[in-house]
Structure 1
Amino acid sequence: MFDLHRLRLLRELKHRGTLAAVAQALSYAPSSVSQQLSQLEAEVGVPLLEPVGRRVRLTEQAEILVAHTEAILQRLERAEADIAASLTDLNGTLCIASFQTAALTLVPTALGLLREVHPHLRVHVTHMEPEKALPALQARDFDLIVAEEYPGNPNPRPAELQQEDLLDDTLHLALPKPADSAETDGPMATLRSLADHPWVMEPEGTAARHWAMSLCRNAGFEPDVRFETTDLLLHVRLVEQHHAAAFLPDLVWSGRPPTVPLRHLPRGQRTRRVFTVVRRGRTQHPAIRACRDALRRAAALHSQEA
C-alpha cells in the first residue's frame, strides 16, 4: 500500500511546480521532500519524476497516482464534513481568499452574519486575485475563494472544483472629469472618444486586463495604459483627479453614490460574474455552507442598496 503522506507530496509538486515551493508551503527542507518522493518511487517501482532543465516534471505514472490521490483526499474531506455536521457547535478555522472589491463590499457583511450565528468559527481572509487564488484553492491553501469572471473570458473549471454564483456586477466606463461625452452618445462612440486619453487598468496577465484590452480594440483603438494596478480604489482616485479613464464595477462604490461620471458599456460587456469556488469534497462541510449562505445574504443586501 502506498504511503498517503508521500502521495500528498507528489500532488503538492504537481500544483506548486517545484520542490522548493512544496518545501516552503509545508515547512519542510527541500532535501526532505526529495527524499520522501524518492521513497515513493521505490514503493511504486517506476520513475515518477523526470528532469527538465533545473526543474522536474511528473511522469505519466505520477499523473495517474496524483489523480487517485485527488479522489482519496476528496473522500477524506467529505468524511471531515460529515464529522463536522454531527457536532452541535461550529468551530475551527475557515480560510477564504477574495479579490479586492468583493473583499471590501461583501466579505465584511458576511463576516458579521457569520459571527452572529457561529461565534466560535474563526475566519481567516486573504486579499488575492482569482488568477492566484484558484491554484491556491486546488493546493488546499484556502477552503473557499470569491472569484470573478469577465464577459467573454471564462475561467478554467477543473473537475475537482465547484462554483456557486453570488451576483452579476455591473461594469461601467468611468469618464475623467470634465466629461467629454454626452449621455445621448452610444456606448461605442463614448468609448472611442477616449482613444487618445490615458487609461488605468489592471496588470497584464489578469482577466480584467484581457477583457479591457479586447473591449478597446473592438472599438478600434489601442489604449494608452499609463497606470497599472489591481487596486480599484486607486483607479477611482485617478479618474477623480482627471488622470485616466477606467472601467469600474458597481461593487467598487460599496453602495455609495459614484464620484465620477459613468457611462454604459456595449451590450454583452456590461456585467462580470461574481461567484464562490470550493473543492468538491468540501461542499457539504457546515462551515462552507454557512459561509456561502452569509455571502449570498451579503450579496442580496448589496443588490438592495445599489
Structure 2
Amino acid sequence: MLDVRKLRLLRELAHRGTIAAVATANAYTPSAVSQQLTGLEREAGAALLTRTGRRVELTPAGRVLVAHAEEVLAALERATAAVAATRTGLTGPLRIGAFPTAMRTLLPPALVAVASAHPGLELSVEELDPAAVPPKLRDGTLDVALVHDYDLVPIEADPSLETSPLRDETIFVAARSALTLPECRDHQWILATPGTLCHAMTIRVCGAAGFTPRARHHADDFATVLAFVAAGQGVALVPELAADPLPAGVVLTPLPTRRRTRLAYRAGTATHPAVAAFAAALVSG
C-alpha cells in the first residue's frame, strides 16, 4: 500500500525540483525527505528517482506515479468535501490568498458576506502575488486564492489545482497624456517587481510592440503606480480594476491586452461548503 504522505512529497518534488526545496516547504530535513522517498520506492517496487550528485530527477515510473498521485489526492479532497457537506453549519478556518488589487476591491464585500452568513468560519487573508499561490495551495497553507493572468502571461497548467473565472479586465497605458504603446518607447517606466506576473506582462506587451521598457521605478501597488504617473515619474500599464479612483492628471489609453481574475483552489475542493460559500460571495459581490 502506498503512503499518501509520501505521495505528497513526491508530488512536491515534481513541482519544486529539489529535495532541499521540498524539505524547506514541509519543515523537514533533506535527509528526512530522502528517506521518505526511498520508502516510497520500496512500496512502489520501482525506482522513482535518479540521482546525479546533488541533482534528482523523476524516472518514467516516478512521473507515472506523480500523475496518479494527483488523482489520489484530488479524490481525498473530494471525500473531505463530501463529509464536510454533511455537517450543520460551517466552522473552522478558511485561509484566503489574494493579490493587492483584489485585496482592496473584490475581497472586502466577499468577506463581509461570508462572515455574516457563516459566523463560525475563521477567515484569514494573506496578500501575495499570484506566482506565489500554487505551492501555498498545494501544501495547505491556503484553501482558496484570487489569482490573475494575462493574454501574454497565461497561468501554467497545474493538475493539482483548479480555477473558476471571476472577471476580465482591459489593460491601459497610464500616462500624463493620451499615448499609444509605441509612443511610450522612449519614456521612462514604472514597473512591478521582477518575478511578478505584472512585471512579466509589461515586458511582454512592450516586447510585442518592438521595445523594452526602461524602468525608472519599481512598485507593486497600483495606487502607488498611478500616483507616480500623476507626478510625472513615468508611464505604466495598469488593469481596469486598479484604475479607480484615477488621480487627477492621469490619462488611460486602452490596449487589446486583457487580465483575467480567477478563484483558485486545490483539485477536488470546489464542492467543499466553505470554498463554495466564498466563491458564491465573490460572484454575488
TM-score (ref. length: structure 1) = 0.84
- Residue 139 of structure 1: CA displacement? 4.2
Indicate the structure with greater strand content: 2
Does residue 288 of the first structure (1) align with residue 278 of the second (2)? no
Contact map agreement 2:191 2:199 (CA 8 A) in 1:
yes
- Residue 260 of structure 1: CA displacement? 4.1
- Residue 53 of structure 1: CA displacement? 4.2
Q: Secondary structure at the match of 1:113?
A: helix
Deviates more, 1:241-250 or 1:79-88: 241-250
Matching residue's letter, 1:89: G
Contact map agreement 2:229 2:250 (CA 8 A) in 1:
no
Matching residue's letter, 1:170: T
Does residue 17 of the first structure (1) align with residue 14 of the second (2)? no
Runs of 4+ deviating beyond 6 Å: none
Does residue 274 of the first structure (1) align with residue 274 of the second (2)? no
Counterpart-to-counterpart distance in 1, 2:155 and 2:269: 20
- Residue 61 of structure 1: CA displacement? 1.2
Partner of 1:199: 189
Deviates more, 1:236-245 or 1:150-159: 150-159
- Residue 135 of structure 1: CA displacement? 3.9
Aligned CA distance change for structure 1 residues 219 and 22 (closer, same or farther; 3 Å): closer
Counterpart-to-counterpart distance in 1, 2:93 and 2:275: 11
Partner of 1:235: 225
Contact map agreement 1:9 1:37 (CA 8 A) in 2:
yes
Aligned CA distance change for structure 1 residues 146 and 259 (closer, same or farther; 3 Å): farther
Which runs of 5 or more structure 1 residues have no equivalent in the other structure? 182-188, 299-306
Q: Please give the per-residue CA displacement for 1:50-96, whole angstroms capped at 9, x wherever unaligned.
A: 22442312222122222222211111111111111111110111222
Counterpart-to-counterpart distance in 2, 1:41 and 1:160: 22
- Residue 160 of structure 1: CA displacement? 4.0
Partner of 1:37: 37
Counterpart-to-counterpart distance in 1, 2:207 and 2:62: 43
Aligned CA distance change for structure 1 residues 151 and 44 (closer, same or farther; 3 Å): closer
Which runs of 5 or more structure 2 residues have no equivalent in the other structure? none
Q: Secondary structure at the match of 1:93?
A: strand
Q: Secondary structure at the match of 1:69?
A: helix
Counterpart-to-counterpart distance in 1, 2:74 and 2:250: 48
Deviates more, 1:99-108 or 1:34-43: 34-43
Contact map agreement 1:91 1:122 (CA 8 A) in 2:
yes
Q: Secondary structure at the match of 1:190?
A: coil
Partner of 2:116: 116
Does residue 79 of the first structure (1) align with residue 79 of the second (2)? yes
Matching residue's letter, 2:222: L
Q: Please give the per-residue CA displacement for 1:21-61, whole angstroms capped at 9, x wherever unaligned.
A: 32232222332222222222222232222224423122221
Partner of 1:152: 152
Counterpart-to-counterpart distance in 2, 1:91 and 1:52: 48
Does residue 249 of the first structure (1) align with residue 239 of the second (2)? yes
TM-score (ref. length: structure 2) = 0.90
Contact map agreement 2:226 2:250 (CA 8 A) in 1:
no
Deviates more, 1:104-113 or 1:2-11: 2-11
Matching residue's letter, 2:97: A
- Residue 241 of structure 1: CA displacement? 1.6
Aligned CA distance change for structure 1 residues 202 and 52 (closer, same or farther; 3 Å): farther
Matching residue's letter, 1:102: A
Q: Secondary structure at the match of 2:181?
A: helix
Q: Secondary structure at the match of 2:88?
A: coil
Matching residue's letter, 1:202: A
- Residue 200 of structure 1: CA displacement? 0.7
- Residue 280 of structure 1: CA displacement? 2.7
Counterpart-to-counterpart distance in 2, 1:221 and 1:67: 41
Aligned CA distance change for structure 1 residues 279 and 250 (closer, same or farther; 3 Å): same
Contact map agreement 2:230 2:250 (CA 8 A) in 1:
no
Partner of 2:284: 297
Matching residue's letter, 2:197: A
Partner of 2:6: 6
Contact map agreement 2:226 2:247 (CA 8 A) in 1:
no
Matching residue's letter, 1:203: T
